[in-house]
């Protein structure tokens, strides 16, 4: 069986721990590879190699660095089918969705091509007589990314692209559940002309992460994953004096006003709730219609679409979505569904009933895959765990509200604040909503408002720790430090020592 090893200095690195973990094919439930898990000594040696490579990379002018990234983009496109197939087989998302995962990462590499502009700093002439002040944005040194299973291409690229373009060396610790694509992306960087050691990949769990957090060489950590780990990493980075931006879980609401086009809204909600089996941090998992009549119409429209959804093998071109990532993830989703029923919510579609026992794809049995059908609850209230917890599965819950004010109180009062959407024809209501809602990313008649690469991505409240967002201009601020130079020419006209603060 294949083992996915660490990738350091452009070569496979087996590490010294001897520990591995199975890599599953969620569509069949079968083990398809193993991944090496690094111990502290392995991580320390990877970081040391990165530190050796970084000064030479930083010395290359930014235009030359981004030409390598330009070639990297070309190679990613050239290898797209292989990358997306591998991604599907380890994650379980469908092949077209896997391509989207890679392409949304490439968007940020394209944004990073503007590094020469992003790094150019500011200049003020004559701040005093013969005195100029200017600022430089310089790389931090060696930085790390710790990323989740649900976007194994996009999120590593969101972090590595701007970090590398800014002149840092980047150590990637991807999710151990789908580790192959991150390694392949690093190989393509080397193939594109990237210097060995500038982009290294190390696999592992808590021991590997803790070694990154405790390293004095690592100057910044970009994390994406669940909220408890995000908070843990943020706190530990603060304790060891590192920059950190840590993005966590979500519970994204859609507010639906009575004037919304109900059929189009139901289409948007069904796609955003069940796409990728609900394993997206921007999945729409709560719908809040305003008024009982809106709720009844929307409920019926959603219910009419659910039986049309096809759940299947990730490479089945007919499948709307595939399996969950592991049996544990599916069992957790099914436990939460049971809790919703127990708490008194109305279960209108029960994904637990999906039977794959006699299903096959290309002669592979799907009986042991980690599937869950679409589930839909009505009459959910804020005290139920199906509402308060991030389910991260194909489960949509409806909370009924009498007024817009009451509807908006749900996303505002929720512990998470990643994404939110409003569906309406009323521009004034939408504008007020955008201004007042306490959530980081807002959609108006857009169910998954993931900002494009040249804006920034980040949630509020328990969805994001740290003050700078991912990608867009914030990413260059995060991965660089500012140096401000004040210079005076000519310098040979000393007026003698001065003992008060200089005032311009």
Q: Which of 473, 459, 450, 458 is nearest to 101 (CA)?
A: 450
Residue 361, φ and ψ in degrees, nearest 5: -145, 125
Q: Shortest distance, CB of residue 251 to ligand NAD, whole angstroms? A: 9
- Burial zone of 476 (CB within 10 Å; 0-12 exposed, 13-18 middle, 19+ buried): buried
Q: Which of 237, 246, 281, 314 is catalytic?
A: 281
- Burial zone of 353 (CB within 10 Å; 0-12 exposed, 13-18 middle, 19+ buried): exposed
CB 260 within 8 A of CB 423: yes
Q: How far apart are the first and last CA of the chain?
A: 70
> Starting from the edge strand earliest in sequence, which strands make up the sheet with 464-465, in order?
11-13, 6-8, 199-201, 169-173, 142-146, 218-224, 243-247, 464-465
Q: Shortest distance, CB of residue 106 to ligand NAD, whole angstroms? A: 17
Q: Shortest distance, CB of residue 470 to ligand NAD, whole angstroms? A: 7
How far is CA 1 from its chain centroid?
30
**Nearer residue to ligand NAD within complex by CB, 57 or 149:** 149
Give a three-class secondary structure readout of 158-206: HHHHHHHHCCCEEEEECCCCCCHHHHHHHHHHHHCCCCCCCEEECCCCH
**Nearer residue to ligand NAD within complex by CB, 21 or 426:** 21
CB 309 within 8 A of CB 320: yes
**Nearer residue to ligand NAD within complex by CB, 193 or 205:** 205
The CA distance from 23 to 25, in Å, is 7
Alpha helices in 284-400, H assignment, sequence order: 292-305, 327-342, 385-388
List residues binding ligand NAD (CB under 6 A). 146-151, 173, 175-176, 205-206, 209, 224-226, 229, 247-250, 281, 390, 392, 418, 459, 463
Residue with smallest beta-carbon separation from ligand NAD: 225
Cβ-based neighbours of 45, under 8 Å, separated by 6 or more: 8
Pairing of strands 243-247, 218-224: parallel
Q: Shortest distance, CB of residue 264 to ligand NAD, whole angstroms? A: 26
**Nearer residue to ligand NAD within complex by CB, 44 or 350:** 44
**Nearer residue to ligand NAD within complex by CB, 167 or 447:** 447
Task: Clarify whether 281 is annotated catalytic.
Answer: yes
Q: Shortest distance, CB of residue 177 to ligand NAD, whole angstroms? A: 7
Following CA atoms 37, 43, 46, 52 in sequence, which dihedral angle do they give, to the nearest 10 degrees? 170
Q: Shortest distance, CB of residue 310 to ligand NAD, whole angstroms? A: 24
**Nearer residue to ligand NAD within complex by CB, 2 or 206:** 206
- Which residues does the annotation mark as catalytic? 281
């Amino acid at each position: 069986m294949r083992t996915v090893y660490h990738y350091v200095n452009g070569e496979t690195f087996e590490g010294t721990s001897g520990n591995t973990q199975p890599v599953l094919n969620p569509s069949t439930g079968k083990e398809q590879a193993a991944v090496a898990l690094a111990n502290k000594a392995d991580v320390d040696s990877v970081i040391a190699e990165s530190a050796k490579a970084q000064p030479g990379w930083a010395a290359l002018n930014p235009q030359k660095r981004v030409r390598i990234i330009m070639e990297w983009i070309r190679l990613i496109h050239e290898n797209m089918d292989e990358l997306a197939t591998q991604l599907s087989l380890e994650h379980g998302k469908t092949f077209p969705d896997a391509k989207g995962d890679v392409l949304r990462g490439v968007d940020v590499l394209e944004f990073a091509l503007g590094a020469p502009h992003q790094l150019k700093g500011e200049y003020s002439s004559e701040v005093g007589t013969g005195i100029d002040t200017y600022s430089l944005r310089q790389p931090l040194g060696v930085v790390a990314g710790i990323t989740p299973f649900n976007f194994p291409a996009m999120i590593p690229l969101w972090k590595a692209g701007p970090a590398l373009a800014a002149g840092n060396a980047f150590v990637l610790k991807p999710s151990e559940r789908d580790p192959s694509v991150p390694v392949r992306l690093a190989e393509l960087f080397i193939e594109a002309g990237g210097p060995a050691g500038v982009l290294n990949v190390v696999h592992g769990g808590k021991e590997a992460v803790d070694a990154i957090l405790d390293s004095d060489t690592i100057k910044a950590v970009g994390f994406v994953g669940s909220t408890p780990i995000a908070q843990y990493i943020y706190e530990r980075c603060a304790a060891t004096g590192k920059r950190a931006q840590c993005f966590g879980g979500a519970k994204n609401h859609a507010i639906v006003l009575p004037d919304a086009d109900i059929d189009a809204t139901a289409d948007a909600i069904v796609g955003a709730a069940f796409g990728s089996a609900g394993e997206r941090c921007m999945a729409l998992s709560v719908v809040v219609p305003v008024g009982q009549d809106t709720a009844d119409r929307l409920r019926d429209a959603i219910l009419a679409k659910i039986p049309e959804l096809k759940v299947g093998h990730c490479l089945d071109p007919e499948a709307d979505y595939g399996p969950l990532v592991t049996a544990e993830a599916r069992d957790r989703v099914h436990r939460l569904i049971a809790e919703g029923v127990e708490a008194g919510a109305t279960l209108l579609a029960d994904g637990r009933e999906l039977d794959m026992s006699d299903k096959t794809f290309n002669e592979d049995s799907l009986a042991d895959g980690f599937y869950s059908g679409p589930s839909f609850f009505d009459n959910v209230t804020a005290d139920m765990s199906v509402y308060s917890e991030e389910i991260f599965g194909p489960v949509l819950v409806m909370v009924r509200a009498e007024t817009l004010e009451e509807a908006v109180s749900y996303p505002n009062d929720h512990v998470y604040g990643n994404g939110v959407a409003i569906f309406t024809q009323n521009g004034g209501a939408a504008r007020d909503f955008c201004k007042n809602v306490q959530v980081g990313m807002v959609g108006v008649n857009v169910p998954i408002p993931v900002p494009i690469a040249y804006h920034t991505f980040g949630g509020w409240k328990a969805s994001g720790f740290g003050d700078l967002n991912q990608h867009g201009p914030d990413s260059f601020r995060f991965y660089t430090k500012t140096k401000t130079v004040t210079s005076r020419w000519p310098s040979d006209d000393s007026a003698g020592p001065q003992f008060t603060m200089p005032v311009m």
